[in-house]
Amino acid sequence: MREFSQLEQRLLNEFQQGLPLTSEPYADIARQLGVYETTVLETLHRLQTEGVVSRVGAVFRPNRIGASTLAAMAVPAKQLEDIAAIVSSFAEVNHNYEREHHFNLWFVVVAADEQHLQDVLAEIESSCAYPLLDLPLLNEYFIDLGFDLKWT
């Protein structure tokens, strides 16, 4: 496992939530951290390129802006990483994860509207060659997805 710099640690831990809602959020973060805005942007870009961070941006309540759904696939264990990589290659996929279940690959898809969402689901299903289970939101629950990262 790679070592993370103090700046990387602070970015990963302190800014999982509370992205400044200003016209220059990364400049505001930079001021809080005592670095240049370009340093923040370059560091976040590097973390994304390395796969440490999948996405940087605001998270909105489901279906308030655009359309979203939870989806799942039953994928043979030997193909799980390859299929997960295909799923993750779609810009509309927020994140994916493995579950111990017959449907072992779960992912969230977000699109501008319902038609685009359905088109993306069909394209994912076609690209992966496995049936996809669409699980639209029926009841909303708030889950705090911030994690207090411990650095040793």
Percentage of residues in the chain with pLDDT exceeding 90?
66
Is residue 35 pLDDT above 90, yes or no? yes
CB 129 within 8 A of CB 111: no
pLDDT of residue 37: 97
At 68-105, the pLDDT tens digits run 999 999 999 999 999 999 999 999 998 899 999 999 99
Beta-carbon contacts of residue 5 (< 8 Å; ≥ 6 apart): none
The full set of domains in the chain, from first to last, is 6-49 (no CATH), 67-135 (3.30.70.3460)
pLDDT of residue 60: 67
Q: pLDDT class for 20, splitting at 50, 70, 90?
A: confident
Q: pLDDT class for 25, splitting at 50, 70, 90?
A: very high
Tokens (6 digits) for 97: 């994860």
Query: Crossing angle of helices 80-88/114-128, nearest 10°?
Result: 150
Sign, Cα dihedral of 76, 82, 84, 90: negative
Query: Crossing angle of helices 37-49/6-14, nearest 10°?
Result: 80
pLDDT of residue 111: 93
For residues 126-133, average pLDDT: 96
Higher pLDDT, 141 or 110: 110
